[in-house]
């Protein structure tokens, strides 16, 4: 018995020595992932109704190369569509695709300023967006950007985000399309209340005369290519209260507005929503959110909005309801419902019901 305990002690000591001898970038590496099983029903007037089973898998690592530089690499299922890492089960049990989801470096220039480059981890990391009605949350933007955050007073912080996002690259043309974003904003926090306000200006350059891959084909086209430019002003706000309750720990209100000055009719969009509940960590935790969105035809490029809301199209309006419930640690159920219609032609509608089992690690 003594020999057994001695052997265990020696193994523990050896493990500690081995860990100390590893390079710091290895010991500073974090692994995270998600798996989702989805059953989806789509009732639509312009196409055949669908009932499909889908899966999504994401796996990522982040590591500190040194005190200043972080590296992030992630893979995910999907076909390459930037707004979806889902794959539909079927096709005679065929193998499914796995792609590079993101790959970026982030440089900590100062305590207040970070600069990133590559294919970033997510659009929500690059700019402040309280909702997904203009930007699908699955988009991993490609390009460069900066994130600035500085405390001004005890209750007030200033933030500033800027991004240069590559849309496409043409070997036979110097007019490569891209989007640039500048977004100043303020965060006010006092006690259990926080207000976050941002005003983004988003401009698409060299997009007129193009037809982009993964377009929803809902913008205005002339001779098969985009007719208008996109210079969009996008103010947004999020109000959040922390609540010391048994079942609810937060309540949130949010809203966004957008207007494109380049469209003939200066098309606009807005969304209003609320959310409450708890962050899902274990059994019994729940959250609920609801929002109404309205996107006119040429308010924003149709390659970016939420792909589940009227299949990612502009010229759409409607309601989204989402409920999440913790089944056990790191496992939760989510139910998402969309009821959307076209703005120009109300006879075209789409109802989408998603039933998900989610595992996170």
Top-confidence residue, 112 or 15? 112
Mean pLDDT of 139-145: 98
The pLDDT assigned to 354 comes to 98
Mean pLDDT, rounded, for 77-98:
94
At residue 4, the pLDDT reads 55
User: 3-state SS of the chain: helix, strand, coil percent to 5?
Assistant: 10, 55, 40
Question: How would residue 171 be classed by pLDDT, with cut points 50, 70 and 90?
Answer: confident
pLDDT of residue 7: 55
Query: Helix count (H) and strand count (E) of the chain?
Result: 3, 19
Residue 336: what pLDDT? Answer: 98
Is the domain spanning 40-53+79-360 CATH 2.40.10? The answer is no
Residue range 251-275: average pLDDT?
A: 97
pLDDT in the model for residue 10: 53
Q: What local confidence, expressed as pLDDT, does residue 215 receive?
A: 96
Residues whose CB falls within 8 Å of the CB of residue 122, separated by 6 or more in sequence, listed in order: 102, 137, 138, 139, 140
Q: Select from 203, 136, 112 the least CA-distant residue to 165.
A: 203
What pLDDT is stored for residue 173 in this prediction?
A: 78
Of 105, 68, 44, 103, the closest CA to residue 347 belongs to 44
Q: The tokens of 12 are what? A: 């523990």
pLDDT, position 252 = 98
Contacts of 224 (CB under 8 A, 6+ apart): 211
Share of the chain above pLDDT 70, in %: 93
Inter-CA distances, 311 with 79, 85, 134, 153, 266, Å: 16, 14, 13, 44, 23
Model confidence at 199: pLDDT above 80 = yes
pLDDT at residue 113 is higher than 80: yes
Q: Residue range 339-343: average pLDDT?
A: 97
- Mean of the per-residue pLDDT values of the chain: 93
pLDDT at 13 over 90: no
Residue listed under structure tokens 């290895």: 26
Q: What is the reported pLDDT for 26? A: 76
């Amino acid at each position: 018995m003594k020999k057994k305990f001695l052997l265990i002690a020696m193994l523990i000591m050896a493990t500690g020595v081995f860990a100390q001898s590893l390079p710091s970038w290895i010991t500073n590496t974090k692994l995270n992932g998600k798996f989702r099983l989805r059953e989806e029903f789509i009732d639509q007037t312009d196409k055949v109704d669908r009932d499909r089973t889908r899966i999504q898998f994401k796996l990522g690592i982040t590591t500190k190369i040194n005190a200043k530089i972080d590296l992030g690499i992630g893979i995910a299922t999907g076909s390459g569509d930037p707004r979806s890492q889902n794959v539909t089960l079927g096709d005679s049990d065929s193998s499914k695709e796995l792609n590079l989801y993101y790959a970026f470096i982030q440089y900590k220039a100062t305590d207040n300023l970070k600069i990133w480059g590559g294919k970033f981890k997510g659009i929500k990391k690059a700019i402040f967006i309280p909702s997904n009605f203009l930007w699908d949350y699955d988009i991993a933007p490609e390009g460069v950007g900066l994130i600035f955050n500085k405390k001004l007073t005890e209750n007030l912080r200033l933030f500033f985000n800027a991004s240069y996002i590559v849309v496409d690259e043409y070997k036979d043309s110097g007019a490569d399309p891209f989007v640039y974003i500048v977004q100043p904003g303020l965060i006010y926090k006092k006690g259990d209340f926080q207000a976050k306000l941002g005003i983004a200006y988003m401009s698409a350059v060299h997009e007129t005369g193009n037809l982009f891959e993964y377009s929803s084909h809902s913008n205005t086209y002339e001779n098969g290519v985009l007719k208008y430019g996109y210079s969009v002003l996008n103010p947004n706000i999020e109000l959040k209260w922390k609540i010391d309750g048994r079942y609810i720990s937060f309540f949130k209100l949010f809203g966004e507005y957008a207007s494109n000055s380049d469209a003939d009719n200066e098309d606009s969009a807005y969304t209003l929503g609320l959310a409450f509940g708890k962050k899902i960590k274990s059994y019994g935790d729940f959250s609920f959110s609801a929002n109404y969105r309205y996107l006119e035809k040429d308010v924003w490029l149709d390659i970016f909005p939420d792909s589940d809301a009227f299949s990612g199209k502009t010229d759409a309006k409607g309601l989204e309801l989402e409920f999440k419930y913790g089944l056990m640690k790191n496992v939760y159920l989510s139910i998402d419902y969309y009821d959307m219609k076209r703005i120009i032609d109300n006879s075209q509608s789409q109802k989408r019901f998603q039933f998900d089992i989610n595992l996170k690690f």
